[in-house]
Amino acid sequence: MTQFHFILKKTKYLFTVVVAMAFIMWFGRGVLNPEETADGFRQGSLLNNPDTLFWFAILLLIFFIFTCFYMLVLMESKLTLDIEKCSVSVSYYLLPQKTIYFESLNNLAVFQEEENPAEFGLYCAKQSEFYKPIYDSRGLFWTLSQQQTEEFIQLVKKHQLDQRKFPWHD
């Protein structure tokens, strides 16, 4: 098989979005009713002033809203690794699919998650500029179906893709 279809377990990432939304609601309380919220802080502190609290809450609210939006836009949903074409196709939730081509399997490095060996990270770079990735999973670990996992592990061992030096292993 030359194509491997990875999916991303999104539980951790969606939990992060939910926590950020909870902060948005909590900071929103300071925007909607700054006098009541300011009473919750000790006397004489900077946040005890309703005007200061209002502007601080507005800034934090804007920051968390943009953070949630940024996370949702850039969250990857699935990845297809095509060995024959030497390409990685990444699908996003809110962006169009992006296909990245690399020169050969020598430009691909694979690493397994320590706690769950069925999860993989990928790193692709040009041979001449291995420290400048054209694709890096950046801590996202992708999963395969059980049948594809076994085939992928055999491919990784055959081409020693897990023995490559990564830029962050200095």
Both 94 and 148 in one domain: the answer is yes
Residue 169 scores a pLDDT above 60: no
Are residues 25 and 100 both part of a single domain? no
Q: How many domains does the chain have?
A: 2
Full residue range of the structural domain in which residue 69 is found? 11-74
Residues 81 and 159 in one domain: yes
* Euclidean distance between CA atoms 32 and 55, whole angstroms: 11
The phi, psi pair for 153, rounded to 5°, reads -60, -40
Q: What was the pLDDT predicted at 170?
A: 43
pLDDT at 141 over 50: yes
For 123, residues 6+ apart whose C-beta sits below 8 A from its C-beta are: 108, 109, 110, 111, 133, 135, 136, 137, 164, 166, 167
pLDDT tens-place string over residues 11-53: 777 788 788 888 778 777 777 777 777 777 767 676 677 888 7
What pTM did the predictor assign? 0.69
Q: What is the CATH number of the domain that holds 149?
A: 2.30.29
Q: How far are the Cα atoms of 1, 149, 165 from residue 107, in angstroms, in the given order? A: 19, 21, 11
Are residues 115 and 87 part of one domain? Answer: yes
